[in-house]
Structure 1
Amino acid sequence: MATIRIGLDRLPPASRAAVEEHTGPLLTVEETAEGLNSEIAARVTSATGAWHIKGLRTEHPRTWTQRREAAVAPFLTGLAPTLRWQVETAGWNLLGFAALNGHHADYAPGSPDLPEVAALLSRLGETPCPGIELRHAEQRLANYATHPDDLHHFAGPHLLHTDLNHTNVLVDDHAPQGDRARLVDWAWATRGAAWLDAGYWTSWLIAAGHTPASAEHWAAEVPSWHAAPAEGITAFAAANANVWAEISAADPAPWTLRLAAASEAWRTHRMSRQ
């Protein structure tokens, strides 16, 4: 479920002052609508720069997502915006990221963003998992796999993002081609098989209008995808469909129902090829 968003002006004065120790006095504040996990989300500027601020109350049940993002941030050079500072004061945990320019990725068929996302996932697939506390992919999918024997396909030593919502990918058209995309919102960072993020992307591609075969074509642009056994991909498609069936049943919003239908279409496609 989405977290209720509040404005930056609702922060306690002590929290606002702690932010401005890093930024200087704020000149502009632009609240952002995207993202489901943050109570505070805003792009701010001061005389010294621009930042994206996200935050949760320290008593919020998902404050762990803030700490996970802070822990993984140093290992994401070239993959994500740089974390510049973190403050925890007056009951709030706040992260300040270097602000990125760009637009949310367009996953529709024919979009010029698709090669950039594939290049981003290719770089991520080469990233070893840092030695920080993260859940493992086989643990996260344990309750959703069709057979317990399927889980070994998901295990691996690589760092995964696992939430390939198009709003989590920013594309800067003015950056060098092949290096324009960055991933934001690493709350669900996970350790697992390198090819899994291409698998998570596949459902989002289908939801954006691709056929399952077209979506798998784009997944195949990510080198790690070719290391995945066919039965492993099928097992993941089935587990992922179960995940989205549960999410959409608990929160039947249009976007969750769309992802559930897309994931089920992918599972059906995979099963028809057996």
Structure 2
Amino acid sequence: MPRRHWEQIPDEVRREVARHSGPIRSAVTVASGASCDLAVVLDTATGPVFCKGGEADGPTGWLYRNEARINPWLPDVAPRLRWTVESSGWLLLGFDHVAGRHPDLAPGSPDLVPLAALLTGLTGTLTPCPPVPVQRFTARWHGLIAPELVDGDSLLHTDMTPRNFLLGDRLHLVDWSSPAVGAAWIDAAFVVVRLVRAGHEPTDAESWARRIPAYAEAHERAVTAFVDAFVRLRERKQRTVPAPHHGPILDAARRWAAYRARHRAHTRRA
């Protein structure tokens, strides 16, 4: 979606933000990210703040409300929400600013070590799911997979794109706008697809994922069903809302699914 600039936001909304953050000296638009009308770093009297949001009743308004609701329950790998402003039809969230770069997921990257550590820590901290209303993953993937294969009691992020990780003095995971409750290994499985997309062979991507205990303990049938469902989901998305960036992740998922099909056939013959 087209990204708005701070100067395009209604004056009343900007004044309300300043009441929470203190005087705002400057605002720099953040170019990356796909699901918000506004994303800026505000230079305030109390330090930098990352501000995101959009029209409260717009198509992505529910995502901002999701993130505001879940943030108090998250560990410190997620930037803390400082304030929420809803004014003049806009809903904006202000977070602690985290400086860093997106991790490199290519084979041999040293960034894969802290990534595995972060996912391992999340499954330990967010199982069981905190007492906050969150959609079940079985409902989100209804009709795509047998519910018992992905059901569980872990709070999941579910959007494991590299742009949602920021690596500075340590690794952070941002944009918790699509949380779900499900099996603890699911976020790691989403990362496997991203690793294949980044150039890993599926067998190597799975070897990396097995560093994460929750994934190592996942049932083989469940993981196979997951990637098959992911392929169908992405094929449907490509048909209904085609976009150039959809193709590479669909190709990666198909390569992983083909690998698992060959592995399953080999196991049966053995």
Which of the five TM-score ranges fits, normalised by the shorter chain?
A: over 0.9
Paired residue for 2:14, among 16, 29, 34? Answer: 16
Paired residue for 1:164, among 156, 160, 167? Answer: 160
Q: Tell me the CA shift for residue 157 of structure 1.
A: 0.5
In 2, distance between residues paired with 1:259 and 1:250? 16
In 2, distance between residues paired with 1:240 and 1:132? 26
Other-structure match for 1:62: 60
Paired residue for 2:174, among 154, 175, 184? Answer: 184
The residue type paired with residue 258 of structure 1 is P
What's the CA shift string for 1:183-236, capped at 9, x where partnerless? 111111000000000001111111111111111111111111122111111010
What's the CA shift string for 1:75-118, capped at 9, x where partnerless? 11222111111010111000000000110111111111111111
In 2, distance between residues paired with 1:7 and 1:226? 44
Other-structure match for 1:155: 151
Q: Tell me the CA shift for residue 23 of structure 1.
A: 1.6
Q: Tell me the CA shift for residue 247 of structure 1.
A: 2.0
Aligned partners of 1:20 and 1:26 also within 8 Å: yes
Paired residue for 1:205, among 180, 195, 204? Answer: 195
SS at match of 1:79: coil
In 1, distance between residues paired with 2:104 and 2:28? 22
Q: Does 1:136 align with 2:136?
A: yes
Aligned partners of 1:206 and 1:262 also within 8 Å: yes
Length, aligned pairs only: 262
Q: Tell me the CA shift for residue 46 of structure 1.
A: 1.4
What's the CA shift string for 1:5-28, capped at 9, x where partnerless? 111111111100011012222122
In 1, distance between residues paired with 2:193 and 2:71? 26
In 1, distance between residues paired with 2:132 and 2:73? 10
Aligned partners of 1:79 and 1:123 also within 8 Å: no
Aligned partners of 2:209 and 2:216 also within 8 Å: no
SS at match of 1:27: strand
SS at match of 1:94: strand
Question: What is the 5 A alignment of 1:12-161?
Answer: 12-126=10-124, 127-128=126-127, 129-145=129-145, 150-161=146-157
Q: Tell me the CA shift for residue 164 of structure 1.
A: 0.5
In 1, distance between residues paired with 2:7 and 2:111? 35
In 1, distance between residues paired with 2:147 and 2:216? 18
Q: Tell me the CA shift for residue 248 of structure 1.
A: 2.3
TM-score (normalised: structure 2)? 0.94
Q: Tell me the CA shift for residue 171 of structure 1.
A: 0.7
Other-structure match for 1:256: 246
Other-structure match for 1:196: 186
For structure 1, the residue ranges without an aligned partner over 5 or more in a row are: none
TM-score (normalised: structure 1)? 0.93
Q: Does 1:218 align with 2:216?
A: no
Aligned partners of 1:72 and 1:132 also within 8 Å: yes
Question: What is the 5 A alignment of 1:222-241?
Answer: 222-241=212-231
In 2, distance between residues paired with 1:151 and 1:241? 17
Aligned partners of 1:53 and 1:97 also within 8 Å: yes
Aligned partners of 1:44 and 1:52 also within 8 Å: yes
Other-structure match for 1:273: 263
Indicate the RMSD between aligned Cα atoms, in angstroms.
Answer: 1.2
Identity of aligned residues (%): 35
In 1, distance between residues paired with 2:262 and 2:138? 25
